[in-house]
Amino acid sequence: MTINEIIQQNEELQLRYARALNTIAALERKIAKLQKENKELLEENKKLKKYNNILMRAIEIALTIRDREKQDLHLKAILQKIKEETGEFTKG
């Protein structure tokens, strides 16, 4: 192998190394983005579980109420409170 071939091979290796570093940097950015998104989804899941538990408990309580109108009022009040807290179904 001549000196020129060694120099050319070295340049090619340096180029491949630079590309590999760029790829690693891009993948690190994607990982950071996915980790942030995952954290947000975990928080959202936590909130949804909380509201699901509230709804399930509200249904359990409603089932103990004998008066149908009072059951409806109880469930409507719970749903309204959840809507206010989550901002869901708001007009505007």
Query: pLDDT per residue over 29-57, tens digit each?
Result: 999 999 999 999 999 999 999 999 999 99
The mean of the pLDDT values for the chain is 91
Angle at 62 between CA 58 and CA 68, to 5 degrees: 145
Please, is 60 exposed, middle or buried when counting C-beta atoms within 10 Å of its C-beta (0-12, 13-18, 19+)? exposed
* Domain assignment present for 73: yes
pTM of the shown model: 0.65
- Is 89's pLDDT higher than 80? no
DSSP state letter for 38: H
Q: What are phi and psi of 87, to 5 degrees?
A: 80, 5
- Is 90's pLDDT higher than 60? no
What is the structure's pLDDT at 92?
44
Find, among 83, 12, 15, the residue nearest to 54 by Cα. Answer: 83
What is the arithmetic mean of pLDDT over 8-15? 97
What is the count of structural domains for the chain?
1
What is the arithmetic mean of pLDDT over 20-28? 98
Structural domain containing residue 45: 3-86
* Domain assignment present for 70: yes
What is the arithmetic mean of pLDDT over 16-35? 98
Give the percent of the chain with pLDDT over 90: 73
* Domain assignment present for 92: no
